[in-house]
């Protein structure tokens, strides 16, 4: 169930993507939620996301998302080009100084050369700093927009997506994967561009100065590239496995923290710790593998760099003895040789980060490629203010193909009527609610409100006119005032207080330390279950829905609190079409219709008195509850 569902009102199609998507989760035939079956571990798996995508395709998509920032990137790369060219001046000026001024003992010329070198290095530093600052601004804007795009897309996805994918895995994609891209883009794009430019520039200068020495340098490059390519491929796979392992571990931690009360109640601390230890060990093992391959790249490039310097010194010395090259040129080549290994080393180092970023980007794009199952048809009109006439006609539905949950459901709720849904757990009661709210679409038949098929109207306009009060109320870590106002964000403080009064919640709210401004802890742990229910009812009152859904709204409270909540509910239900799911049959005696559902079918229907007179399933259920209460 989405946050807004728990709030007692539904106001946008994006709500179906809320983190609390399992509150009215599918329970086909009372079985497990899809995606959490046997053999999948405590948090399921992201099976559809395990297969890696094409690297070039992922890189192309990642670069295409940078198109809005093209102008800024061009300016950044222009500054990078300038500081690389200025940086190449240094070794060349050293050679000039040796050949033209040191050997000729020209002090003034040597001083001028030194000043030119200092100016070149200073200019290089200035342009490098400016490009770094600009790239940081561009990268953070890009990441901000990517996070927003991913989060907004998650809000549009249907509940089926959240049924099969654990929340911790999704959180990992919003955090770990985005962070991996951040590390690659914030500085590494400019570093990669600078390294490539530096490499090309050094090679050009080498060939201009001396072809034999230049050839000596590049002959060693293929060996370096082969070794680097092999290690980098292993590194990429290692980082992909590491990201996946981190996602699983985060899922375990998220579920363990969320379910801590249940874990402690059943004494499963050691079991949870064992499970986390397995996931943590998996992260350790994949992390060691990835980091080991990553660590090999730098020393390998360093060895190759030293080999290049030794080769240049040897070949250059021989050429100098033959009178084919000057000492200044050799010094210039050694300077370029040292710089030649630096961009190679940087490229090798950046490759690791880029591989991690590509692995993260693959996982993010896989979510962005997911399409919502429940959507508006093209040109769907708004569902204008409704009277509340609801009709299910021959409705069939299954969460999983060939496993029917609802079979040929027919019901008619007239405006203002109260429809009670009773039956065993897993019979399909909550599924009827899920279909009415269009969290899922039916397989066949039709659901009409005021004669309009709900699949042919805008989802937003449908959910704005529905209100839900659940057994497990979701409240946010904000003030009581803001939690009630969630039902109608434009409501004034006076309207919020009036809604709380109608819900019989005003008295206990005023007894809180800061009244309506009292800040609630996570999931309102500083309130009792009954108090949370009253706030949910107040939120629904403020939303003023035409159709009300009460899903076991009083089943988790004591008798005294139940009476208090029932009084608030009666006020809320007055004049509204209401669907009440209840196991306590005493709460539905006044319902206009009672529908008994078993194995996805309506097996009995009628008023409370009619069903008792039939002496069927409902009669036996009622008598069993009555006897338990009397006992």
Question: What is the arithmetic mean of pLDDT over 155-165?
Answer: 82
Q: Where is pLDDT greater, at 481 or 523?
A: 481
Range among 12-16, 93-97, 194-198, 557-561 with highest mean pLDDT value: 194-198
Domain match, 318 and 440 both: no
Alpha helices in 369-504 (DSSP H): 429-436, 459-463, 480-485, 493-502
Q: Is the pLDDT of residue 469 over 70?
A: yes
Q: Is the pLDDT of residue 240 over 70?
A: yes
Tens of pLDDT, residues 48-70: 333 335 677 888 888 888 888 88
Between vectors from CA 289 to CA 287 and to CA 290, what angle results, nearest 5°?
65
Q: Where is pLDDT greater, at 75 or 30?
A: 75
**Residue 554 near residue 490, CB atoms below 8 Å:** no
pTM given for the model: 0.65
Mark which of 314, 333, 368 sits at the end of a domain: 368
Question: Could you tell me if residue 162 is inside a domain?
Answer: yes
Give the model's pLDDT for residue 32. Answer: 32
Question: Could you tell me if residue 407 is inside a domain?
Answer: yes
> What phi and psi, each to the nearest 5 degrees, are found at residue 65?
-70, -15
Please tell me the number of Cα atoms within 13 Å of 409 on its side-chain side. Answer: 36
Question: Could you tell me if residue 261 is inside a domain?
Answer: yes
Question: What is the arithmetic mean of pLDDT over 597-614?
Answer: 92
Q: Is the pLDDT of residue 631 over 50?
A: no
Q: Is the pLDDT of residue 279 over 60?
A: yes
- Distance from C-alpha of 537 to C-alpha of 469, rounded to nearest angstrom: 6
Give the model's pLDDT for residue 628. Answer: 54
- Distance from C-alpha of 562 to C-alpha of 129, rounded to nearest angstrom: 67
Domain match, 354 and 401 both: no
When pLDDT is cut at 50, 70 and 90, the band that residue 627 belongs to is low
Domain match, 344 and 241 both: yes
**Residue 467 near residue 549, CB atoms below 8 Å:** yes
Question: Could you tell me if residue 123 is inside a domain?
Answer: no
Tens of pLDDT, residues 403-462: 899 999 999 999 999 999 998 888 899 899 889 999 899 999 999 999 999 999 999 899
Characterize 563-599 residue by residue with b for buried, 16 or more Cβ atoms within 10 angstroms of its Cβ, and e for exposed.
ebbbebbeebbeebbbbbbbbebebbeebebbbbbeb
Domain match, 233 and 263 both: yes
Q: Is the pLDDT of residue 401 over 70?
A: yes
Give the model's pLDDT for residue 4. Answer: 37
**Cβ-Cβ contacts under 8 Å for 536 (sequence gap 6 or more):** 6, 7, 8, 469, 470, 473, 475, 553
Mark which of 340, 368, 396 sits at the end of a domain: 368
Mean pLDDT rounded to a whole number for the chain: 80
Give the model's pLDDT for residue 497. Answer: 93
Dig out the tokens for 440 from the structure.
């899922």
Question: What is the arithmetic mean of pLDDT over 251-274?
Answer: 81
Give the model's pLDDT for residue 166. Answer: 77
Question: Could you tell me if residue 119 is inside a domain?
Answer: no
Domain match, 394 and 353 both: no
Look at the chain and count its residues.
631
Domain match, 296 and 344 both: yes
Query: Taking the CB of residue 51, how many other CB atoms lie within 10 A of it?
Result: 8
Q: Where is pLDDT greater, at 301 or 392?
A: 392
Q: Tell me if residue 462 falls in helix, strand or coil.
A: helix
When pLDDT is cut at 50, 70 and 90, the band that residue 33 belongs to is very low
Question: Could you tell me if residue 56 is inside a domain?
Answer: no
Q: What is the DSSP letter of 582?
A: -
**Residue 282 near residue 246, CB atoms below 8 Å:** no
Mark which of 327, 342, 368 sits at the end of a domain: 368
Specify which residues 391 forms β-bridges with.
412, 448
Dig out the tokens for 321 from the structure.
């003895």
Question: Could you tell me if residue 79 is inside a domain?
Answer: no
Domain match, 339 and 238 both: yes
Domain match, 362 and 421 both: no
Give the model's pLDDT for residue 532. Answer: 87
Domain match, 354 and 475 both: no
Question: Could you tell me if residue 448 is inside a domain?
Answer: yes
Domain match, 346 and 412 both: no
When pLDDT is cut at 50, 70 and 90, the band that residue 553 belongs to is low
CATH number at residue 518: 3.40.50.300
- Distance from C-alpha of 609 to C-alpha of 313, rounded to nearest angstrom: 104
Q: Is the pLDDT of residue 46 over 50?
A: no
Range among 238-252, 384-398, 586-600 with highest mean pLDDT value: 384-398
Give the domain extent around 623. Answer: 3-20+386-630
Q: Is the pLDDT of residue 263 over 90?
A: no
Domain match, 582 and 457 both: yes
How many structural domains is the chain composed of?
A: 2
Percent above pLDDT 90 for the chain: 19
If residue 361 lies in a helix (H) or strand (E), which one and from where to where?
helix 327-368
Q: What is the DSSP letter of 33?
A: P
Domain match, 342 and 415 both: no
18: left (phi over 0), alpha (psi -120 to 50) or beta: beta
Question: What is the arithmetic mean of pLDDT over 503-513?
Answer: 89
Question: What is the arithmetic mean of pLDDT over 355-367?
Answer: 84
Range name among 50-54, 484-488, 496-500 with the lowest pLDDT average: 50-54
**Residue 543 near residue 467, CB atoms below 8 Å:** yes
> What phi and psi, each to the nearest 5 degrees, are found at residue 400?
-120, 135
- Distance from C-alpha of 477 to C-alpha of 519, rounded to nearest angstrom: 7
When pLDDT is cut at 50, 70 and 90, the band that residue 2 belongs to is very low
Q: Is the pLDDT of residue 39 over 50?
A: no
**Residue 432 near residue 606, CB atoms below 8 Å:** no
Q: Is the pLDDT of residue 42 over 50?
A: no
Q: Where is pLDDT greater, at 45 or 143?
A: 143
């Amino acid at each position: 169930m989405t946050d807004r569902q728990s709030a007692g009102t539904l106001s946008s199609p994006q709500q179906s993507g809320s983190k609390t998507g399992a509150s009215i989760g599918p329970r086909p035939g009372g079985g497990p939620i899809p995606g959490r079956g046997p053999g999948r571990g405590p948090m399921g798996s992201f099976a559809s996301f395990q297969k890696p995508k094409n690297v070039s395709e992922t890189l192309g998509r990642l670069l295409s998302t940078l198109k809005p920032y093209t102008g800024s990137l061009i300016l950044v790369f222009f500054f990078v080009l300038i500081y690389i060219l200025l940086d190449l001046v240094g070794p060349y000026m050293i050679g000039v100084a040796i050949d033209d001024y040191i050997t000729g003992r020209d002090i003034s010329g040597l001083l001028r050369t030194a000043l030119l070198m200092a100016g070149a290095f200073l200019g290089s530093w200035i342009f490098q700093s400016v490009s770094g600052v600009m790239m940081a601004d561009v990268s953070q804007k890009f990441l901000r927009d990517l996070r927003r795009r991913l989060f907004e897309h998650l809000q549009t996805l249907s509940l089926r997506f959240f049924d099969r994918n654990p929340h911790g895995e999704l959180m990992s994609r919003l955090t770990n994967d985005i962070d991996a891209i951040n590390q690659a883009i914030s500085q590494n794009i400019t570093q990669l561009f600078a390294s490539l430019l530096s490499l090309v520039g050094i090679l050009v200068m080498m060939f201009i100065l001396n072809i034999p020495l230049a050839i000596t340098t590049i002959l060693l490059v293929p060996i370096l590239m082969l070794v680097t390519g092999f290690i980098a491929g292993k590194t990429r796979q290692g980082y992909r496995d590491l990201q996946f392992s981190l996602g699983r571990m985060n899922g375990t931690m998220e579920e363990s923290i969320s379910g801590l009360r249940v874990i402690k109640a059943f004494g499963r601390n050691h079991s949870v710790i064992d499970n986390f230890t397995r996931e943590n060990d998996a992260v350790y093992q994949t992390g060691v593998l990835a980091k080991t391959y990553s660590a090999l790249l730098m020393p390998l490039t360093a060895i190759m760099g030293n080999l290049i310097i030794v080769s240049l010194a040897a070949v250059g010395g021989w050429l100098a003895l033959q009178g084919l090259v000057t000492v200044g040129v050799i010094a210039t080549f050694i300077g370029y040789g040292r710089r030649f290994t630096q961009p190679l080393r940087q490229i090798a180092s950046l490759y690791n980060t880029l591989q991690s970023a590509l692995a993260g980007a693959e996982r993010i794009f896989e979510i962005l490629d997911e399409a919502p199952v429940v959507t508006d048809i093209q040109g769907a009109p708004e569902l204008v203010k409704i009277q509340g006439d609801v009709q299910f006609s021959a409705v069939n539905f299954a969460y999983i193909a060939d496993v029917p949950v609802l079979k040929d459901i027919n019901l008619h709720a007239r405006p203002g009527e109260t429809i009670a849904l009773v039956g065993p757990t897993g019979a399909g009661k909550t599924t009827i609610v899920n279909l009415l709210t269009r969290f899922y679409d039916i397989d066949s038949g039709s659901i009409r409100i005021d004669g309009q098929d709900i699949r042919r109207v805008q989802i937003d306009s449908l959910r704005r006119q529905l209100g839900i009060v659940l057994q497990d109320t979701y409240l946010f870590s904000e003030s009581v005032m803001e939690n009630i106002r969630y039902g109608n964000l434009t409501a004034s403080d006076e309207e919020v207080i009036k809604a709380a009064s109608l819900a019989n919640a005003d008295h206990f709210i005023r007894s809180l330390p800061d009244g309506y401004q009292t800040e609630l802890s996570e999931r309102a742990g500083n309130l009792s279950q009954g108090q949370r229910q009253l706030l949910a009812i107040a939120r629904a009152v403020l939303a003023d829905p035409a159709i009300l859904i009460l899903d076991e709204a009083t089943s988790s409270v004591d008798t005294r609190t139940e009476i208090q909540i029932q009084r608030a509910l009666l006020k809320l239900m007055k004049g509204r079409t209401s669907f009440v799911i209840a196991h306590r049959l005493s709460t539905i005696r006044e319902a206009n219709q009672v529908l008994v559902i078993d194995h996805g079918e309506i097996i009995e229907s009628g008023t409370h008195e009619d069903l008792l007179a039939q002496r069927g399933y409902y009669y036996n259920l009622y008598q069993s509850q009555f006897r338990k209460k009397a006992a």
